[in-house]
Chain A
Amino acid sequence: MITTSRLTKKFGKLAAVDSLSLDIPEGEVFGLLGPNGAGKTTTINLLITLLKPTSGSATVNGIDVVKHPAEVRKNIGVVFQEPSVDDLLSGKENLEMHAMLYSMPGELRRRRVEEVLELVELTDRKDDWVKTYSGGMRRRLELARGLMHHPKVLFLDEPTLGLDPQTRQHIWKYIARLAKEENMTVVLTTHYMEEADLLCSRIGIMDHGKIVALGTPKRLKHEVGGDVVVLKQEGFDRSCLKGLKFVKKVKVDGDEVFLTVEHAHENLQRLLSAVGRVRSVEVREASLNEVFLKYTGRKYREEEEGAEGGWAERTMNAEAQRD
C-alpha cells in the first residue's frame, strides 16, 4: 500500500528523513516510533504530499507522491499532530466542508457525516461550535474528519499527544475498531510505547531520519532478550546462577541485581530457589521502552512531550494569543 525508496528530505544540511526505504502492506497498522526530531512528522508530510522530497521516491496506493500529488490526496485521510479544525464552525459544518473538498455527493455526504459523528460519539454536540469542545472532543472530531471520505490509508500524527489517559484510551479504542471495520491501512506516529504496543501490527523505530529497528511489537521485545528481574540482596554471588540457562545477563549495582531473564513469570520460582533469601524482588516485563533504549541509546522519557508542547496545550496557547 505504501512503499518508499531511499526517501530523503533535507532542511539545509540536516537530513530529517535519511534514505528511508519502507514497505507497508494493505490493512496494516504501522507505527513510527521515535524521539523528538527523529523525522516522523517529516516522513508523514512527505507521504501526504505536503512536502516534496529532496531525493528518493514514494508511492501511496501505487501512486507516486511527487508526480501525482492530487491523486494521492484522494486516497488518504490525515489527522495532523497539531489541531486543524475550524473552531468558528460547528463540528458538523467542519465535516460537511471536508466532504465537499473531497467531492462527496450530497446524499453520501449527509449519511457519512451522521455515521462518523455517531462513531466518535459527537452526535449530540454536532451543532455546537468547535470552540466549545474539549481537547479530546476536538481530537475525536479530527479523527472523524480523517475517516469521512473512506480513505485507503489513514495517517495519524501523534493522535493522542497531550490528552489525558482516559481520553487516550477512548481514542485507541476508536482507532483499533476503525482499522478493523473499515479495513484501512493506518500509519501512525507516536510518543507512547503503550499506544504502539496496543495498536500496531508492526513498528518501525526511527532515529536521525532512519529506521533503526523494524518488526512486530512481540518480535522487537523478544530481541531485547527477555524480562528484567531486579533483586535486592546483600552479598550476591553470581556463581549461584550456574546452570540457569534462562538467565541471559547479570548486572550488579550496589545491593541491587539486574537479571535479564527469559519468561520470568515461569522461571521466577527456580531463580529465587537458586539465589536464596532476598529482601525484595521486582519483575519488569520486556517492554518497548527497553527496545527503544537499545536502538536509540536514549531513554524514552514521556516528559519530552513538554519540549514539543502537548497538543491540547498548544491549542490553548494559540487561543490565548488570539484573544
Chain B
Amino acid sequence: MAFEAGKIYAVWLREVKRFTNSKARIVSSMGQPILFLVALGGGFSALIPGFNYMAFLLPGIVAMTVMFTSIFAGVSIIWDREFGFLKEMLAAPTSRETIVMGRILGGATTALLQGVLMFVLGMLFTGVAVPPLANILGILVLMTVFSCYLVAAGIAIASVVQEVETFQLLMNFLVMPLFFLSSALFPLEQMPAWLRDISSLNPVSYAIDGMRTLVIGTSHFGLLYDFGVSFGILAIAFAAATYFFNKTSI
C-alpha cells in the first residue's frame, strides 16, 4: 500500500469543496432528519408520559444524518464513473489506496460536519443538556469511525455495482433497512425478540448505542462493545473498499 499525503489531501479537498459548493444539498439533507426528530419525537413523547423520547431519539437522528451523507459520498463513485471524472483520477500518477483514503476522509469530514450541526440543532429542540467534554470527544471519535466505515462500504459497493440506475436502489434498500432495523428508533430491550436479534446484528446499532450512552447515559450493549464493533467494522470495510476499488476499471 502506498499513501501520498499531498494527493490524499487533493482528493479530500475535492469532496469538501463539492460539499461546500452545494449549499442546497446541505440544507436539504438536514430537512428529513429534523422532520423525523420533531414529528416522530414529539408525537411519541406525548404518547409515553414521563419518557423524553425526543432525547432518546436524538442520537439515532444524528446517526441517520451521518449515514445518509457518508453512504452517499462513498456510492457517488458511481456518478464519477458516469461523468468521466473517475478517469481523471485513475489516469493520474496516484495509487488507488490514496484515492480510497482521500475519499473516505473527505466523505467523513462532510458527514461529521452535518452530524455535529444536527446534534447542536437537536439539542436546542430536545433540551438535552450539553454532555461533558470527555463525552463530546467520545461522540466525535465514534461518529468519525462510524462515518468512515460507511463511506468505505459505499466505495466497495460502488466499485462492484457500476450502473447509475442502481444508485437509488442502493440508497433505498441499504440505507433504510440499516436505519430502521437498528437501535435508532426504539429501546432494544423493549423490542420483540426477532427485531432485537436483527438489530443486534446490525453494526449501526452499536454506533448509535455508543452515542446514546455518551449523550443521555442509556446503554444497551455497553461502550466497550459499541467502540469495539465500530472499529472492527471499519477495518473490514476499509479492506473491502481498497480491495474492490483496486479491481475496478473505467
Listed in ascending order, the chain A residues whose CB lies under 8 Å from chain B are 45, 48-51, 70-71, 73-74, 76, 78, 80, 82-89, 93, 97-98, 100-103, 129, 145, 318, 321-322
Sample 13 A-B pairs with CB under 8 A, ordered by A number. Answer: A73-B92, A73-B93, A80-B84, A80-B91, A86-B83, A87-B83, A88-B22, A98-B92, A100-B7, A101-B11, A101-B94, A103-B7, A321-B164
Cβ-defined contact, A84 with B87, below 8 A: yes
Residues of B within 8 A of A71 (CB): 93
Cβ-defined contact, A82 with B84, below 8 A: yes
The interface centre, meaning the residue of B17, B21, B84, B95 with most chain A CB atoms within 10 A of its CB, is: B84
Q: A88-B21, A103-B7 are in contact. Are A83 and B89 (CB under 8 A)?
A: no
A105 (CB) vs chain B CBs: closest residue: B6
Residues of B within 8 A of A74 (CB): 93
Q: A97-B14, A101-B10 are in contact. Are A51 and B79 (CB under 8 A)?
A: no
B197 at the interface (CB under 8 A from A): no
Residues of A within 8 A of B10 (CB): 97, 100-101
Residues of A within 8 A of B134 (CB): none
Cβ-defined contact, A318 with B83, below 8 A: yes
Residues of B within 8 A of A89 (CB): 14, 17-18, 21
Cβ-defined contact, B82 with A318, below 8 A: yes
B250 at the interface (CB under 8 A from A): yes
B102 (CB) vs chain A CBs: closest residue: A101
Kindly state the separation between the CA atoms of A144 and B164 in the bound complex, as whole angstroms.
Answer: 29
B218 at the interface (CB under 8 A from A): no
B121 at the interface (CB under 8 A from A): no
Residues of A within 8 A of B82 (CB): 318, 321
Cβ-defined contact, A86 with B95, below 8 A: no
B85 at the interface (CB under 8 A from A): yes
Q: Lowest 6 CB-CB distances: which A-B pairs, in order?
A: A100-B10, A84-B84, A73-B93, A101-B92, A74-B93, A82-B84
Kindly state the separation between the CA atoms of A322 and B11 in the bound complex, as whole angstroms.
Answer: 22
Which B109-123 residues have a C-beta within 8 angstroms of A? none
Cβ-defined contact, B91 with A86, below 8 A: no
Residues of A within 8 A of B92 (CB): 73, 98, 101-102
Kindly state the separation between the CA atoms of A87 and B17 in the bound complex, as whole angstroms.
Answer: 12
Residues of B within 8 A of A49 (CB): 91
B231 at the interface (CB under 8 A from A): no
Cβ-defined contact, B85 with A103, below 8 A: no
Residues of B within 8 A of A76 (CB): 91
Residues of A within 8 A of B83 (CB): 83-84, 86-87, 318
A82 (CB) vs chain B CBs: closest residue: B84
B13 at the interface (CB under 8 A from A): yes
B136 at the interface (CB under 8 A from A): no
Residues of B within 8 A of A51 (CB): 249-250
Kindly state the separation between the CA atoms of A312 and B83 in the bound complex, as whole angstroms.
Answer: 12
B9 at the interface (CB under 8 A from A): yes
Kindly state the separation between the CA atoms of A226 and B13 in the bound complex, as whole angstroms.
Answer: 58
B88 at the interface (CB under 8 A from A): yes
A52 (CB) vs chain B CBs: closest residue: B249
The interface centre, meaning the residue of A45, A85, A101 with most chain B CB atoms within 10 A of its CB, is: A101
Cβ-defined contact, B91 with A322, below 8 A: no
Kindly state the separation between the CA atoms of A100 and B94 in the bound complex, as whole angstroms.
Answer: 10
Residues of B within 8 A of A318 (CB): 82-83
Kindly state the separation between the CA atoms of A83 and B84 in the bound complex, as whole angstroms.
Answer: 6
Kindly state the separation between the CA atoms of A227 and B79 in the bound complex, as whole angstroms.
Answer: 50
Cβ-defined contact, A50 with B84, below 8 A: no
Residues of A within 8 A of B88 (CB): 80, 84-86, 98, 145
Residues of B within 8 A of A101 (CB): 7, 10-11, 89, 92-94
Cβ-defined contact, A86 with B9, below 8 A: no
Kindly state the separation between the CA atoms of A73 and B90 in the bound complex, as whole angstroms.
Answer: 9
Kindly state the separation between the CA atoms of A47 and B85 in the bound complex, as whole angstroms.
Answer: 19
Known contacts A76-B91, A88-B22; 15 further A-B pairs (Cβ under 8 A) = A48-B91, A50-B87, A50-B91, A50-B249, A50-B250, A51-B249, A70-B95, A73-B91, A73-B93, A78-B91, A82-B84, A84-B85, A85-B88, A97-B10, A101-B11
Residues of B within 8 A of A322 (CB): 79
Which B63-114 residues have a C-beta within 8 angstroms of A? 79, 82-85, 87-95
Residues of B within 8 A of A48 (CB): 91
Cβ-defined contact, A86 with B18, below 8 A: yes
Minimum CB–CB distance from A50 to chain B (whole Å) comes to 5
Q: A80-B84, A82-B84, A86-B18 are in contact. Are A103 and B4 (CB under 8 A)?
A: yes
Kindly state the separation between the CA atoms of A318 and B80 in the bound complex, as whole angstroms.
Answer: 11
Kindly state the separation between the CA atoms of A257 and B79 in the bound complex, as whole angstroms.
Answer: 56
A71 (CB) vs chain B CBs: closest residue: B93
Q: Mark B218-250, 1 if CB is under 8 A from A, else 0.
A: 000000000000000000000000000000011
- Which listed residue (A78, A98, A100) contacts B9, Cβ 8 A? A100
Residues of A within 8 A of B22 (CB): 88
Kindly state the separation between the CA atoms of A241 and B7 in the bound complex, as whole angstroms.
Answer: 71
A83 (CB) vs chain B CBs: closest residue: B84
Minimum CB–CB distance from B84 to chain A (whole Å) comes to 4
Residues of B within 8 A of A145 (CB): 88
Residues of B within 8 A of A129 (CB): 21
- Which listed residue (B6, B9, B87, B164) contacts A80, Cβ 8 A? B87
Cβ-defined contact, B85 with A93, below 8 A: no
